[in-house]
Amino acid sequence: MIEAELKARVRHPERVHAELEKRAVGRAEVYRDTYYDTPDTAISGSDRELRVRTIHGPDSTRSILTYKGARVDEASGSKPEHETAVADPAALHAMLRGLGYVPFIAFEKRCRNYDLEARGRRMLATLVRVPEIDGHFIELETQAEPGDLQAALADIRAVLGELGIEDTDLTTEQYTDAVAASRA
């Protein structure tokens, strides 16, 4: 499966938040992401990602291991994605380091997530604030088969338009790059 996703800067976060609240109940979560790479940056250098994410919500904490392949759509940055739940994140971090992977970058994302149905698809809308980056962002995603990717992206773009997000607000800049630049 491909994670069909568009990300945009949000000029009016209160307005977008209000529009999303009309569609679904939001949940506040804090993501603590650690991206791993090989010492020679073979993973990130080939546009792939290996991430351990721990999600702290109001009622629970859970962790996920994610591998994203290289982009299959340059305009959106959409990538094949594979995820699995992690029972013991400390053990996973130790295993990855033991296998020779090194933490590439780690940072926090403050999110408000909305599970919604739109245009016949299950979608996840996430309002994002990364303390080390100026501004607010929205990510809107759905899962798609390779042959359905362009239609899924068109549906996402339409929903973003309904939320007041314009095409000029779209960005493919990755948080990892923006956080690294802010730390430089």
Phi, psi at 18, each rounded to 5°: -60, -40
Residue 93 has a pLDDT of 98
Predicted confidence (pLDDT) per residue in 59-109, tens digit? 999 999 999 999 999 999 999 999 999 999 999 999 999 999 999 999 999
Tell me the two tokens of residue 9. 């800067």
Structural domains in the chain (count)? 1
CB distance 172 to 163 below 8 Å = no
Average pLDDT value for residue range 25-34: 98
Predicted confidence band of residue 171 (pLDDT cuts 50, 70, 90):
very high
Domain holding 24: CATH number? 2.40.320.10
Task: Give the residue numbers spanning the domain of 123.
Answer: 2-183
Q: What residues pair up with 53 in beta bridges, in sequence order?
A: 33, 64
> What three-state secondary structure class fits 158?
helix
Give per-residue pLDDT as tens, 1-11: 999 999 999 99
Percent above pLDDT 90 for the chain = 99
Read off the pLDDT band of 119 (50, 70, 90). Answer: very high
Residue 24, pLDDT score: 97
Q: Summarize the confidence of residues 124-153 as an average pLDDT.
A: 97
Give the burial string for 58-68 (b: 16+ CB within 10 Å, else e).
eeeeebbbbeb
